[in-house]
Amino acid sequence: MRKSNPFINKIILFLLIFTTNCYSQNPLISHIYAADPSAHVWAADTNKLWIYTSHDVPGTNHHATMSDYHVFSTSDMKNWIDYGQILSIDNVDWGISYAWACDACFRNGKYYLIFCMFEKESGLMRTGLAVSNVPQGPFHNIGYIRGIDLGQDPALFVDDDNTPFLYWGAGGKCYAAQLTEDLLSIIPSTMVDLSDQLFEIFEGPWVHKYQGKYYLSYPGLPDKKWPEEMYYAIADKPLGPYKYSGKYIPRFMMQSGTNHGSIVKYKSDWIAFYHSAWLSDGMSEVRNLMADFLYYSPDGRIKAIIPDSSGLSKGKQTNCIIFLEAENGKSAGGRLEGTYAASSLGGYSGKGYVTGFVMRNYVEVLVQVAKDMKAILKIRLSAEKDIAADILVGAKMMAGWDGLTIKKTKGWEEINLGEVQLKEGDNKIRFSSHDNVDLKLDYFIIEPLNE
């Protein structure tokens, strides 16, 4: 493939980013590097769209540095929420490295995250399973799915009759099988090798259903040369046989070497999600989310998508806040030091709030961003009297030695603490009180400022 002109690339990138910060929506999310989007609309709230993703580390030159997952939601395709880290290798006892693509499903009243990591004991890529009571997590590891070796890039499709099917594969291979009711094993007699049915298949399968047909979409390598393009095949049954039907995202300017996507119907629109390297000037190891409307021909074929900056915006200005529940603690990359989660005072969000602010006990949350940026920090709390609080953002203390004065509240109140500076990568935000006080902290909101 002929090399592009770096100067021209930078001009194109400037135009893409400029329009993204104004009235466009590609890249879909601009404050964090994320990839491998798995999009879902859950039956409990069909007004909301969820995207489960892998997370790329700023400054890296390899995908081996990937170690956690994120989830984003929207109800209007204009305002998005990043719920922070929802699962990390640190919370998976069998995992050791390479937290690559993930998927999610809702089953028997629980939300499941299906992910992949290398296993410590065998050194094999395993397909893991984690569970949560809520779609935004955090998710708690419950093991890996048995019967699979080399379980990279898992996608879980639940058919209309509630039968679960798993698809996985990499390196030019794609497999599928029906899962057991608990999702923790494949049914060996149902396992099929779909590789020969999928033209140029390399990795990242995804299945959706349209007009009674099963569509398996995937990234492939044309003539075994990078970067990847997105293809699809169609079948009458979830386990095939599949018939190759075309390419729906060809190569495009500033894409990453890989691609990986999902297709979902949200409200009245079909949408294709995928990733690129628009935010990183073409660096394939740090990717960003993309989305475009997807259209079908009358014969059921998918029309090709040519990525551009307009994306899903329809002329709307878009934004994304970071919303972190205080009580999630270590499972979301933070910490409760001396403080603890409680739920006796009603009116909180999530599953509770944090209290126990004595002897400078604290709550700490993790904020992950792609680049150095300024943001507005807000907290929701309930305080029985005026207090002096220490708020540490990275290595910087807000308001210095005397602390920041927070006034007595009338029940739960959301307080704007002002502008903070976030650095590229991981940022810890810590809240503690100078006083022994009946203080309750519900959540943190971080609003990145576009400059």
Per-residue pLDDT of the chain (451 residues; tens, 9 = 90+): 334 454 444 444 444 444 334 345 899 999 999 999 999 999 999 999 999 999 999 999 999 999 999 999 999 999 999 999 999 999 999 999 999 999 999 999 999 999 999 999 999 999 999 999 999 999 999 999 999 989 999 999 999 999 999 999 999 999 999 999 999 999 999 999 999 999 999 999 999 999 999 999 999 999 999 999 999 999 999 999 999 999 999 999 999 999 999 999 999 999 999 999 999 999 999 999 999 999 999 999 999 999 989 898 766 778 999 999 999 999 999 999 999 999 999 999 999 999 999 988 999 999 999 999 999 999 999 999 999 999 999 999 998 788 899 999 999 999 999 999 999 999 999 999 988 888 999 999 999 997 5
Q: Which domains does the chain have, with CATH numbers?
A: 6-317 (2.115.10.20), 322-448 (2.60.120.260)
| Phi and psi angles of residue 15, each rounded to the nearest 5 degrees, phi first | -65, -40
pLDDT digits (tens, 9 = 90+) for 68-94: 999 999 999 999 999 999 999 999 999
For 6-15, b/e burial (b = at least 16 CB within 10 A) is eeeeeebbee
pLDDT digits (tens, 9 = 90+) for 198-254: 999 999 999 999 999 999 999 999 999 999 999 999 999 999 999 999 999 999 999
What is the four-CA torsion angle of 83, 87, 91, 94, rounded to 10 degrees? Answer: 180
Strand ranges in 89-222 using DSSP code E only, listed in sequence order: 95-97, 102-107, 110-119, 125-132, 140-144, 155-158, 164-168, 175-178, 192-193, 206-210, 213-220
Indicate the residue type of 376.
Answer: I
